[in-house]
Each structure stands twice: as C-alpha cells, then as structure tokens.
Amino acid sequence: MHRFANPARFLRLAKPLTPALFWPGLLLALGACAWGLFAVPTERLMGDTVKIIFVHVPAAWLGMGGWMGIAIASLVQLVWRHPLAGIAARAIAVPGATFAAICLMTGAIWGRPTWGTWWVWDGRLTSMLVLFFLYLGYIALANASSEKGDTSRVAAVFGIIGAVNIPIINRSVIWWESQHQKASITLGGSSIDSAYLTPLFVAVTGFSLLFGALVLMRMRAALAEMRIDARMRRMADD
C-alpha cells in the first residue's frame, strides 16, 4: 500500500502515464463522438436525438465513478494515512463535478425533444443533481484550508458520507416510478442495439482515459504547488 506513498516515486510513474492516458483518451473520445454523429442510424422514435447518449452516458458514469473514487481515496486516507490519498480525492473532485454537470445538461437537452420537458423532479434526475451539489460542497470543503496540499479529515469524512447517494442514483429508476427510463445496460445484457452500443463503449473508454489523465495532471500540479509552498517558506525563514 505504501509503495507509492513516496511522492517522488509517484511522480516518476505519473509523468509518463499522463500522456499515455491523455492522447489515446482524446483520440477515442473524439472518434466515438464523430462516429456517433455521422455514422450511426437514426433511432425509431427519437431520430437524431439518440446521438447525445455518446456524451451523456459516459458523463453520467464518470460523474458517479468519480465520487466512488473520492470515497475510496478518503477511506484510504483515514485508515492508512496514505499521504497521496487525500491529494487524489481532491484531484478527482473538479473533473467529477464537470462530468456530472455535462450529464445534467445533455440530459436536459435530450429531455426537451424526447419527453417534452427540460427537467422533472423524478428520482433519477433529482439524485443526480444532488450528486452535483455534493461535488460543489466537497470542493468548497477541501479548499477551505489556506494551507496548500492540506488534506483535512473533514473532507474525507464528507467524501465517504456522500457515497450513500451513489447506490440511490443507481437504484432510483427501480425503486420509484420515474420519468427517466430504466437501465439499458445491466450485468444481464443490453437493450441498446449494437449500432449504438459499440460507439458507446468506445466513448466510455475514451472519456474514462481522459478522466484518468486529468486526475493525474491535477495530482501532479497539487504536488508541485506543495513543493513551491515549502520552498517559499524555507526562503522566508532564511
């Protein structure tokens, strides 16, 4: 567990890993979007509106997966006192919030022509909005300390508590009658035609790689800021 606790060792690993995730991720994500936009058949009821899933679904998954990452990193921070875990959790927050926001916006754009409304207060939409607000709360809490790279335990506790919302989002369409349709892709299979499913998986892979690259970049930036801070303090002391 503590093998990568050494920031120097982590940085040696993260430096080549960042472009290795970023460029394939960008290529796959853009490729999947182009594929979805130009080469996918129109849907029987939704027509061209179906094409928004190639952004909406990866954004939804990464928004939720991001918080799971925050929760796991927070647990590692609290239990094992892993020095990089708190930094990792903080690095996930902004990309996670961004993808949650993209999910909400693309969902609204899809909902207007499909359902006839931008927004309804059903279980799925509401719990996803709560996730977005949780991200904002987490970001505010994690940045509350003036100290650079400070990883307070309050944010970690908040990260773990907020994870309660993730299974609620996932189950919302099953527990409650909702405007949002039920899951199309489950462990049992998929009710999405392969014409849409294949580019969707490419898009999910691409956006996930991009997400990983963004998190690594932010972690490296946070570590660099900590070093600058430490050096400034040493210079001030001299």
Partner 1 sequence: MKPKHQRLVLALMAFIALIGAGFIAAAALRDEASYFYTPATMSKAKIEPGQAIRLGGMVQKGSIVQGADGVSITFIVQDRDATQKVAYRGITPDLFVEGSGVVADGRLRADGVFVADSLLAKHDENYVPKELADIDMNTAEHTKDTLSK
Footprint on this chain of partner 1 (rule: CB under 8 A): 41-47, 50, 53, 75, 78-81, 113-117, 120-123, 160-161, 163-165, 167-168, 171, 175-179, 181-184, 191-193, 195-196
Nearer to partner 1, 17 or 190 (CB): 190
Nearer to partner 1, 19 or 41 (CB): 41
Smallest separation (angstroms) from partner 1 to the CB of 159? 11
Nearer to partner 1, 16 or 188 (CB): 188
Query: Helix, strand, or coil here: 33?
Result: helix
- Give the number of other CB atoms < 10 A from CB of residue 163: 18
Smallest separation (angstroms) from partner 1 to the CB of 26? 26
Smallest separation (angstroms) from partner 1 to the CB of 154? 14
Nearer to partner 1, 162 or 212 (CB): 162
Sequence-distant (6+) residues with CB within 8 A of 217 are 18, 22
Nearer to partner 1, 203 or 216 (CB): 203
Residues 63-84, buried b or exposed e (16+ Cβ, 10 A)? bbbbbebbbbbbbbbbeeebbb
Smallest separation (angstroms) from partner 1 to the CB of 227? 28
Are 165 and 130 in contact, with CB atoms under 8 Å apart?
Answer: yes
- Which tokens is 225 given? 């800021």
DSSP string over 93-119: HHHHHHHHHHHHHHHHHHHHHHTS-S-
Phi/psi at 82 (nearest 5 deg)?
-65, 120
Smallest separation (angstroms) from partner 1 to the CB of 108? 14
Amino acid residing at 98? T
